Chain A
Amino acid sequence: QVQLVESGGGLVKPGGSLRLSCAASGFTFSDYYMSWIRQAPGKGLEWVSYISSSSSYTDYADSAKGRFTISRDNAKNSLYLQMNSLRAEDTAVYYCARGGLLQVPWYWGQGTLVAVSS
């Protein structure tokens, strides 16, 4: 069965950096776009970024542009999100999901919590 397991979250100071990872299994990872979607505490869902199956295409929400970088390693079945210049408003649970662009995000991981606070 499809499994997506995020890791790398934690507490970081404003201006700091964090790298999230998502380990995928149960499907042919290299066939699918992958995405990051976040949810601030008690709030709704916000798309962050997605990446094409071959890494040739990426897209970002305005809130992430210039600060976050999405990448993947198809040999390791892994998705990443490098987050720099973190702000308090980046505090959220970050989910990785299978899908992107015109592919519905069908499967989601359980999420990893990122807290940005001094």
Chain B
Amino acid sequence: EIVLTQSPGTLSLSPGERATLSCRASQSVSSTYLAWYQQKPGQAPRLLIYGASSRATGIPDRFSGSGSGTDFTLTISRLEPEDFAVYYCQQYGSSPWTFGQGTRVEIK
């Protein structure tokens, strides 16, 4: 099983600042099969990034994904008020699918 470890656990930032979220895998993940999700309280997760760097439909370009192998990054270039949420990475290239434990981005 591929274990995904996200860091930091919580990120305290102000609107307009840049957010950098990390996802590290216990073994190599094909970048084709790495996704990022945003989840707000009481809502289902929303797909932001798939294939490590491709934005899902309707996702603003302030969200970008990068990385390969065991190290992946989600960057939010300038935080908007609606971006404060929990973010999860996921690998879907091998069974079992696994998710990171999440990074909470909170308002400072």
Contact = CB atoms under 8 A, between A and B. Distances in A.
A103 interface: yes
Contacts of A47: 96-99
Contacts of A107: 47
B96 A61 contact: yes
A109 B46 CA distance: 10
20 contacts: A35-B97, A44-B99, A44-B100, A44-B101, A45-B88, A45-B90, A46-B99, A47-B96, A62-B96, A95-B44, A102-B33, A102-B92, A104-B33, A104-B35, A104-B47, A104-B50, A105-B92, A106-B47, A107-B47, A110-B43
Contact of A105 (B43, B47, B95, B96): B47
A37 B43 CA distance: 14
Interface in A31-75: 35, 37, 44-47, 50, 59, 61-62
A106 B44 contact: no
Interface of A is mostly: loop
B92 A111 contact: no
Contact of A45 (B47, B56, B99): B99
Contacts of A110: 43-44
Contacts of B51: 104
Given A47-B98, A104-B33, 5 more contacts: A44-B99, A95-B44, A101-B95, A104-B47, A110-B43
Residue with the highest number of chain B CB atoms closer than 10 Å, among A50, A104, A111: A104
Nearest to A110: B44
A40 to B, nearest CB: 12
B45 interface: yes
Interface in A95-118: 95, 99, 101-111
A80 to B, nearest CB: 19
A47 B99 CA distance: 8
Contacts of B46: 108
Contacts of A103: 92
A103 B32 CA distance: 10
Interface in B7-65: 33, 35, 37, 43-47, 50-51, 56
